[in-house]
DNA sequence: AATAGGGTTACAC
DNA sequence: GTGTAACCCTATT
């Protein structure tokens, strides 16, 4: 009865189109909303992402995990900071990415750091690390998943991320019935940063809400070896 | 020009 | 050491 087994091996992807940014976003959101506790986790996630089957979802997740594992193994170097997936309209090149190690960039004490925006790669890694280590263990996440970010940065990112999630959820839940009628997508301004995901007609899953609460905080890695060193010789 | 989004630093527990 | 709040900067409308 199990057809899975080689759905990703030898079968590149019959009807799998490249993941659109919107789909990826939905996938990530669903991933966070539905932790591993959910029995039909993948089913629900698949339901959240229209256009993708369960196999597609699993494949995507496998790929992500594989990527993270690769990075974790130290085989890959990471990132391609040129991952401007979307941002079609304007080419905001006003960003002066100063990610040049080696140069002793003196940061004045009264100088606030620039603020390197998180890339999609980092965000993906962050999400996976979140799923693997659980919320709160920014230390492990920073060390295993997002190596290019300090625990503080990870925590900050998490904070903003959850803030946004909560806001979105609240906003969605706020008007509930009255908001459901917001199926007007005639403007055509629905592309990249659209946070107006309209549920498909007849979507049974109205979100069970529940911010997943404290999912899983395995208190491991208690050895504070002081790996606060990120290898950034400034 | 105003507002929102995003990131870093500082403070408190 | 972790969580939260404030501050600041950048990008979008």
Segment among A10-24, A99-113, A173-187, A200-214 with least mean pLDDT: A200-214
C1’ B12 / CA A28, Å: 32
* DSSP helix/strand/coil, A144: helix
CA distances from A23 to A31, A73, A80, A84, A159 (A): 12, 28, 21, 16, 23
CB A130 within 8 A of CB A94: no
Which span out of A14-18, A56-60, A71-75, A84-88 was modeled with the highest average pLDDT?
A: A56-60
pLDDT(A67) > 70: no
With residue A138 as reference, give the H or E element that holds it.
helix A138-140
C-alpha span between A122 and A194 (Å, rounded): 20
Q: What is the DSSP letter of A135?
A: T
CB A169 within 8 A of CB A209: yes
Nucleotides of C under 7 A from a protein CB: 1-5, 8-13
CATH T-level topology, domain A21-83+115-168: Arc Repressor Mutant, subunit A (1.10.10)
Q: Which residues does strand B reach (CB under 7 angstroms)? A: A 107, 112-118, 152-153, 156-157, 159-160, 164
C1’ C1 / CA A230, Å: 17
C1’ C8 / CA A132, Å: 33
Which residue in A156, A169, A150 sits closest to A227, CA to CA?
A150
Which residue in A3, A22, A4, A12 sits closest to A194, CA to CA?
A22
- Report the number of secondary-structure helices (H) and strands (E) in chain A: 6, 0
Which residue in A128, A130, A15 sits closest to A63, CA to CA?
A128
C1’ B2 / CA A193, Å: 20
Hey, where are the domains in chain A?
21-83+115-168
Question: Helix A120-133 to helix A21-33 angle, to the nearest 10 degrees?
Answer: 20
Q: Which two tokens stand for residue A51?
A: 């256009």
pLDDT in tens, A18-41: 887 778 778 877 776 776 667 888
C-alpha span between A193 and A186 (Å, rounded): 16
pLDDT in tens, A98-148: 333 444 444 444 455 667 788 777 887 888 788 778 888 888 888 877 777
C-alpha span between A33 and A27 (Å, rounded): 10
A195 touches strand C (CB under 7 A): no
- pLDDT value of residue A176: 52
Residues 112-171 (A) near nucleic chain C, CB < 7 A: 112, 114-115, 135-139, 151, 155-156, 159
A89 touches strand C (CB under 7 A): yes
């Amino acid at each position: 009865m199990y057809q899975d087994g080689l759905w990703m091996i030898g079968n590149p992807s019959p009807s799998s189109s490249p993941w659109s940014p919107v789909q990826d976003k939905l996938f990530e959101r669903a991933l966070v909303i539905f932790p591993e506790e959910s029995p039909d986790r993948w089913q629900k996630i698949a339901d959240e992402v229209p256009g993708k089957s369960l196999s597609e979802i699993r494949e995507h997740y496998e790929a992500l995990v594989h990527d993270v594992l690769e990075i974790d193994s130290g085989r890959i170097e990471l990132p391609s900071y040129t991952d401007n997936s979307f941002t079609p309209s304007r080419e905001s090149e006003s960003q002066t990415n100063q990610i040049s190690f080696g140069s002793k960039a003196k940061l004045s004490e009264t100088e606030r750091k620039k603020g390197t925006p998180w890339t999609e790669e980092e965000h993906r890694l962050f999400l996976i690390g979140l799923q693997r280590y659980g919320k709160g263990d920014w230390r492990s996440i920073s060390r295993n998943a997002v190596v290019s970010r300090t625990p503080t940065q990870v925590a900050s990112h998490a904070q903003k991320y959850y803030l946004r999630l909560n806001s979105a959820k609240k906003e969605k839940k706020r008007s509930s019935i009255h908001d459901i009628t917001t199926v007007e997508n005639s403007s055509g301004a629905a592309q990249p940063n659209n946070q107006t995901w309209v549920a498909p007609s007849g979507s049974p899953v109205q979100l069970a809400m529940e911010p997943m609460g404290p999912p899983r905080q395995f208190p491991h890695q208690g050895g504070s070896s002081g790996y606060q060193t990120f290898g950034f010789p400034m």
